[in-house]
A and B are shown apart, each in its own frame.
Chain A
Amino acid sequence: MSNVWLRIKSLARRATAVVVILIGFLAITEFTLGAIYHWQPLSATYFETFEEPPHFRLRANVSAMQLFEQPVRVTTNSEGLRIVPGAPEGAGVVIHVIGDSQVFGSGLSDDQTIPSRLQVILGSQFKVINHGLPATGPFYYAQEMSEIDAADWVVCIQSEMNDMEDSYSPLSQTCSRCGTLLTDSAEGRALPCFIMRSYSFHLALNLWDRFADRRQPLPLDFNPRAPVAATVLARRIHDLFQPQVQLRGNHLIFGLVPWDGLIVPARRREYSPAVDQPRRLVEWTDDLKIEDVFRQDADRESLFLKNDPHLSARGAEIAAAVVAGEFLKRYHER
Chain B
Amino acid sequence: MTELSVTSVAGPVVCARRRCRWMRFAGRGAAFVAVSVIGLELCLRVVLLNRLPILPFYIEQGRPALPASAHFTTWVEWHGASEYWTDAYGARVASRGKQNPASIQTGDIFVLGDSQALGYLMPFDQTFGSQLAKRVLGDAARVRILAAPGMDPVSELAALRGYQSAVNLRRPRLAVMVLNLGNDLDELFFAGLGGGERDTSSSTRWLMMHSRLFAEWISIHTIYFSRDGWTGVNPILYNLDAAERVFLARQAIGVLEQQAADLHRAHLNGAEHVAFVIVPAPFQVDSRLFERYRKNFASNQVFEEWNSRIDDFAGMMDALDRFIARQLCKDGFDCVQVSELARNDGPGAKWFVQDTDHLTAYGHEKVADALARLVFPPAAERR
Interface centre among B192, B193, B248, B255 (most CB of A within 10 A): B192
8 A Cβ contacts from B168-200 to A: 188-196, 198
Tell me whether A273 and B252 are in contact in the complex, defined as CB-CB below 8 angstroms, given that A217-B192, A223-B191, A232-B244 are known contacts: no
Contact B244 A165 (CB under 8 A): no
Asked if A120 is at the interface (CB within 8 A of a chain B CB), the reply is: no
Cα-based distance from A223 to B155 in the complex (angstroms)? 12
> Considering the chains assembled together, what is the distance between the CA atoms of A137 and B158 in angstroms?
31
- Nearest residue, chain A, Cβ from B194: A217
Evaluate contact between B239 and A272: CB separation under 8 angstroms. no
- The answer to whether B62 has its CB under 8 Å from any CB of chain A is yes
Asked whether B251 lies within 8 Å of A232 as measured between CB atoms, the reply is yes
Q: Is the CB of B255 within 8 A of A273?
A: no
A175 interface residue per 8 A CB criterion: no
For A220, A224, A226, the residue with the greatest tally of chain B CB atoms inside 10 Å of its CB is A226
**Is B63 positioned at the interface, with any CB of A under 8 Å from its CB?**
yes
Measured between alpha carbons, how far is A231 from B62 in the docked complex, in Å?
Answer: 19
Chain A residues positioned under 8 Å from B255 (CB to CB): 228
A168 located at the interface, meaning its Cβ lies under 8 Å from any Cβ of chain B in the complex? yes
Q: Provide the residues of chain A in CB contact with B194, threshold 8 Å.
A: 217
User: In the bound complex, do residue A229 and residue B189 qualify as a contact, i.e. CB atoms below 8 Å apart?
Assistant: yes
Closest beta carbon of chain B to A172's beta carbon, Å:
14
Bound Cα distance A211, B154 (Å) = 32
* A165 adjacent to B192 (CB under 8 Å): yes
Contact B251 A225 (CB under 8 A): no
Instruction: Report B-chain residues with C-beta under 8 Å of the C-beta of A232.
Output: 189, 240, 244, 247-248, 251
Q: Which residues of B contact A226 (CB under 8 A)?
A: 154, 191-192, 196
A229 touches B191 (CB 8 A): yes
Task: Tell whether, in the assembled complex, residue B188 and residue A228 are in contact, meaning their CB atoms are under 8 Å apart.
Answer: yes
Within 8 A of A (CB), among B193-246: 193-196, 198, 239-240, 244
Q: Which residue of A lies closest to B198 (CB)?
A: A272
Q: How far is the CA of A33 from the CA of B96 in the complex (A)?
A: 62
Is A230 in contact with chain B by the CB < 8 A criterion? yes
Complex CA gap A271/B196 in Å reads: 11
Interface members, chain A 228-245 (any B CB < 8 Å): 228-232, 235-236
Cβ of A277 to closest chain B Cβ, rounded Å: 16
State whether B240 touches A223 (Cβ < 8 A).
no
Contact of A216 among B188, B195, B198, B252 (CB under 8 A): B195
Complex Cα spacing A164 to B196, Å: 14
Any B CB within 8 A of the CB of A114: no
Central interface residue in B153, B155, B194, by most chain A CB within 10 Å? B194
> At the interface, yes or no: A218 with Cβ under 8 Å from chain B?
yes
- The answer to whether A168 and B193 touch across the interface, beta carbons within 8 angstroms, is yes
State how many angstroms separate the Cβ of A7 from the closest Cβ of chain B. 13
CB interface residues, A 196-218, toward B, < 8 Å: 215-218
B195 contacts A223, CB within 8 Å?
yes
User: With A228-B154, A232-B240 given, is the CB distance from A223 to B247 under 8 Å?
Assistant: no
| Chain B residues with CB below 8 A from A271, complex form | 195
Given the complex, which residues of A lie within 8 Å of B188, measured CB to CB? 228-229
A232 to B239, CA, bound (A): 12
**Chain B contact residues: helix, strand, loop or mixed:** helix
Whether B192 lies near A223 (C-beta < 8 A) is yes
How many angstroms from the CA of A272 to the CA of B61 in the assembled complex?
11
Q: Which A residues touch B247, using CB under 8 A?
A: 232, 235
User: Which of A164, A218, A235, A236 has a CB less than 8 Å from the CB of B195?
Assistant: A218
Whose C-beta in chain A lies nearest to the C-beta of B236? A232
Given known A225-B154, A225-B196, contact A231–B191 (CB-CB < 8 A): no
Residues of B within 8 A of A273 (CB): 62, 195-196
A residues in contact with B191, CB < 8 Å: 223, 225-226, 228-229
- In the complex, A71 has a CB within 8 A of chain B: no
* Chain B residues, Cβ within 8 Å of A217: 192-196
A227, CB-defined interface residue at 8 Å: yes
Contact B239 A169 (CB under 8 A): yes
**Alpha-carbon distance between A216 and B194 when the two chains are bound, in angstroms:** 8
Q: Which of A61-120 contact B (CB under 8 A)?
A: none
A225 touches B63 (CB 8 A): yes
What's the least CB distance linking A281 to chain B, in Å?
Answer: 10
**CB–CB B154/A227 < 8 A:** yes
Q: Which of A168, A225, A235 is packed against the most chain B CB atoms within 10 Å?
A: A225
Asked whether, in the complex, the Cβ of A225 is within 8 Å of the Cβ of B189, the reply is: no
Name, among B190, B195, B239, the residue most crowded by chain A CB atoms within 10 Å (CB to CB).
B195
Least CB distance from A171 to B in Å reads 10
Q: Chain B, 81-96, contact with A by CB distance < 8 Å: what is the 0/1 string?
A: 0000000000000000
**Chain A: minimal CB distance from B258 (Å):** 11
Interface of chain B residues 116 through 151 with chain A (CB within 8 A): none
Give the docked Cα–Cα distance between A63 and B247 (Å). Answer: 47
Q: Using Cβ atoms and an 8 Å threshold, which residues of chain A touch B248? A: 228, 232
Candidates B62, B192, B239; contact of A220 at CB < 8 Å: B192
Chain A residue at minimum C-beta to C-beta distance from B251: A228
Q: Are B192 and A231 in contact, CB atoms less than 8 angstroms apart? A: no
Given A223-B196, A235-B244, A236-B244; A228-B189 close (CB under 8 Å):
yes
Bound-state CA distance A235–B243 (Å) is 11
Cα-based distance from A225 to B158 in the complex (angstroms): 9
Find out whether the CB atom of A272 lies under 8 angstroms from the CB atom of B195. yes
How far is it, in angstroms, between the C-alpha of A273 and the C-alpha of B158 when the chains are bound? 15
Q: How far is the CA of A220 from the CA of B189 in the complex (A)?
A: 11
B158 partner residues in chain A, CB cutoff 8 A: 225
Q: Chain B residues near A224 (CB, 8 Å)?
A: 62
CB-CB nearest in chain B for A272: B195
Measured between beta carbons, the chain A residues less than 8 angstroms from B244 are: 232, 235-236
**Chain B residues within an 8 Å CB radius of A231:** 251
State the B residues within 8 Å of A (CB).
Answer: 62-63, 153-155, 158, 188-196, 198, 239-240, 244, 247-248, 251-252, 255
A-B contact pairs, 22 of them (CB 8 A): A164-B192, A165-B192, A165-B193, A215-B195, A217-B193, A218-B196, A220-B192, A225-B62, A225-B155, A226-B154, A226-B196, A228-B189, A228-B191, A228-B248, A229-B189, A229-B190, A229-B192, A229-B193, A230-B192, A232-B248, A236-B244, A272-B196
* Additional pairs, 9, CB under 8 Å, beyond known A168-B239, A217-B192, A217-B195: A216-B195, A217-B196, A225-B62, A225-B154, A229-B191, A230-B192, A231-B251, A232-B244, A273-B195
- Top-6 shortest CB links A-B: A217-B195, A226-B192, A226-B191, A220-B192, A228-B188, A228-B251
